[in-house]
Amino acid sequence: MIDTGAAHSFITQSALNTLYHSAVPLCDHIAQVGDGQTMLNIVGEVQLLLQFNKVFTPLNVLVVKTMNTDFILGSDWCTQNAARIDYEKNQVSIRSSYGRIFIPYKKCIDYLTLDVKTINVIHIPPREAYTVQAKVELSSADTVYFSPVDVTQSDKPIVMSPSLLHIDNYTTYLEVYNPHDYTYTLPMNTLLGRVTHTPYQMHSCLSFDISRASSSLSSQHHIFNTIELEQKPSETSNTIDKLINHIKNVQEKQQLRLILQQHMNICDISKVTQANTHIQHTINTGDSLPISSRPYPRTIEQRRELQDEIKKMTQTNQIRPSNSPWSSPVIIHKKKDGGIRFLVDCRKLNSVTKKYCFPQPTTEELLHRLGGHRFYTKLDLKSGYFQLPIHETDKEKTAFITQDGL
């Protein structure tokens, strides 16, 4: 996450443990968050080498125990790399020896969810409601949406309602009801649910007002209000609703909605994405000389459509200008909905490319694998081939040519 208001860059211990890095000199310092109250415990400082496309940028990063995101690039990184943020195109550009390079970013936080857990061991009297103090890896927030989970996995779990919570210094309060005839105990670090941004579909929910509650948790004074929200549903939220509309069981429907909301960025097809993987596609042409082709002829209308499509793909960083010695012509295919399908005729390139010899399963083998199962999952990627990252040295081989150039 980029935070231009942060004086330094930060990384959590858990995120750092997944990286190769130099030894971390231990320290015991405190950093103050922008709210003026919350403190971050700094346990050390480490130098990391960050890679953006072909550019490597060294950076001294402060290591903290926990915060609401794994990594924050602060103003120190922005100044060091002359970073510029283009809010209209959702991209960041930084200075490099190759000129300025452009990095797309996501501003949508629909998929961000954080766990809410108990701080202490809680004993809830039979058939009573209890105000529980809980922790969340978020320093502060005026309003977040809490979605409860089944913490006991039993026939009669404790009861919690979806609600709007206020977070202060990584702490929040919510109400838990024990429907049993005996005292129920919640162990320390029990997962109560998750918080996220206020969802678009919610028309009303419970809101806990801690400012009017007693400072003593045992007194059980709490105020609940109903809040009406009139926000416009996002396209992704509507897509999720359509996906689960066929489910009749209300509880199963809510559980699946929570799972999909946690991974909402996967369901968002409004923006162009690329697979987040270290595996890159290579095009092995051996010692073959570059192959170039002439562009296919187009009518004025087809040429205009092609220009518009290329402009869109350039803006979303799917393609970039090229001076490659390789080139393949473009084919335009009309879709049923009136749009166009952008295709590159790579037959000449394929003729000099070494093929991968991977055994394809037979129909009989596939049916044997599927036998004896009840549930089947299908994954469909939007513009799947465009999502595959290509190795930098082979990108020039994918160059295409039109009547307007390479």
- Domain 112-197, second-level architecture: Distorted Sandwich (2.70)
> What CA dihedral angle connects 120, 124, 128 and 131, to 10 degrees?
0
Distance CA 309, CA 341 (A): 9
Q: What class has domain 300-401?
A: alpha beta
Distance CA 60, CA 42 (A): 13
Please state which of the four CATH numbers 3.30.300.130, 3.30.300.30, 2.40.160.20, 2.40.70.10 is assigned to the domain occupying 10-104.
2.40.70.10
164-212, pLDDT tens digit by residue?
888 888 889 988 888 888 888 889 988 888 888 765 444 445 555 444 4
133-174, pLDDT tens digit by residue?
999 887 778 788 888 876 444 455 788 888 888 888 888 998
User: Is it true that 112-197 and 300-401 share their CATH fold?
Assistant: no
What average pLDDT does the structure give for the chain? 80
Q: How confident is the model at residue 38 (pLDDT cuts 50, 70, 90)?
A: low
Q: Record the tokens describing residue 162, joined without a space.
A: 């979806």
Q: Which of 83-92, 178-187, 259-268 has the lowest mean pLDDT?
A: 259-268
Domains of the chain, by residue range, sit at 10-104, 112-197, 237-266, 300-401
Q: Record the tokens describing residue 10, joined without a space.
A: 């930060």
Q: How confident is the model at residue 109 (pLDDT cuts 50, 70, 90)?
A: low
295-319, pLDDT tens digit by residue?
998 888 888 888 988 888 888 888 8
The full 3-state SS of 343-366, as one line of letters, equals EECCHHHHHCCCCCCCCCCCHHHH
